[in-house]
């Protein structure tokens, strides 16, 4: 796998603590439960630092984190490499511009995939300006190599993807970017579920959607925006 992109991260005490803090925030905000989810960053030397398998994101310590290579083989650390490592590696391979990947299990967003409610629909102005839309990848068994394949085409053109019946993958130039995107994704899902409980949400007019894309660009929105075809 191609891991030649230049990253902002090195394996330091600071980034290890930041990963743990992101895990605690995800756990506190109900974006993961028990030992669900995983977090990784791309290191400057082409390796990847991330969360191990079967450890709660709410109770991690910096020493729990592991380093793996671009083939998913453990380089250092006492735990096991997460079963979702190939999904992370696929995201890095398709997006040499990103340095962080967050995989979460946001309950409202996952509920939308169960009910066939698409977050790719242009309904919420702030979501369009920040992410465009959030497509749903085909179902793949959690923890399988299939998971890496079903996200490739989508993650190539956007920064947030839902995994059918499973969770989400968000990416960013920084770890904070990737975290903010899953928070925004889950907040949008909650809002849309409430809207459907009141009636049928109305899609924004095309001219307003175009204005929002331009507004986001003018105000420094970074990353890739998904546009439903």
pLDDT of the residue at 221: 63
Report, in angstroms and rounded to the nearest whole number, the Rg of the chain calculated over CA atoms.
17
Give the distance from CA 127 to its chain's centroid.
Answer: 15
Say if strands 74-76 and 160-163 run parallel, antiparallel, or are unpaired: unpaired
Say if strands 74-76 and 66-68 run parallel, antiparallel, or are unpaired: antiparallel
Instruction: Provide the token pair at 99.
Output: 């340095």
pLDDT of the residue at 5: 53
Domains of the chain: 13-218 (3.40.225.10)
Q: How many helices (H) and strands (E) does the chain have?
A: 7, 8
pLDDT of the residue at 227: 75
- Strand (E) or helix (H) holding 76: strand 74-76
pLDDT of the residue at 38: 97
Alpha-carbon separation of residue 205 from 129, 208, 212 (angstroms): 14, 5, 11
Tens digit of pLDDT at every position of the chain (229 positions): 344 456 789 999 999 999 999 999 999 999 999 999 999 999 999 999 999 999 999 999 999 999 999 999 999 999 999 999 999 999 999 999 999 999 999 999 999 999 999 999 889 998 888 888 899 999 999 989 998 999 999 999 999 999 999 999 999 999 999 999 999 999 999 999 999 999 999 999 999 988 888 876 666 566 787 876 5
Whether 123 contacts 195, CB under 8 Å:
yes
pLDDT of the residue at 2: 41
pTM: 0.93
pLDDT of the residue at 225: 78
Distance CA 192, CA 202 (A): 11
Whether 50 contacts 19, CB under 8 Å:
yes
Give the three-state DSSP class for 50. strand
- Which residue matches tokens 């053109």? 157
**DSSP 8-state code for residue 67:** E
Instruction: Provide the token pair at 196.
Output: 């459907």
């Amino acid at each position: 796998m191609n891991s030649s992109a230049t990253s902002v991260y090195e394996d330091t005490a600071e980034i290890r603590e930041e990963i743990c803090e992101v895990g605690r925030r995800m756990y506190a905000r109900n974006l993961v439960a028990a030992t669900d989810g995983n977090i990784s960053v791309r290191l400057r030397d082409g390796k990847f630092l991330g969360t191990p398998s079967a450890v709660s994101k709410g109770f991690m310590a910096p020493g729990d984190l592991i380093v793996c290579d671009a083939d998913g083989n453990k380089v250092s650390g006492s735990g096991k490499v997460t079963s979702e490592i190939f999904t992370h590696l696929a995201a890095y391979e398709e997006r040499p511009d990103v340095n962080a990947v967050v995989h979460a299990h946001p309950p409202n967003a996952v509920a939308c995939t169960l009910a066939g409610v698409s977050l790719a629909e242009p309904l919420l102005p702030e979501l369009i300006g920040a992410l465009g839309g959030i497509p749903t990848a085909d179902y793949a068994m959690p923890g399988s190599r299939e998971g890496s394949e079903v996200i490739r085409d989508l993650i190539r053109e956007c920064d947030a993807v839902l995994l059918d019946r499973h969770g989400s993958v968000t990416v960013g130039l920084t770890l904070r970017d990737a975290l903010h995107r899953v928070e925004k994704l889950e907040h949008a899902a909650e809002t849309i579920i409430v809207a459907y409980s009141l009636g049928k949400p109305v899609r924004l007019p095309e001219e307003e959607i175009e204005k929002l894309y331009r507004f986001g660009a003018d105000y420094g929105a970074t990353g890739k925006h998904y546009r439903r075809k």
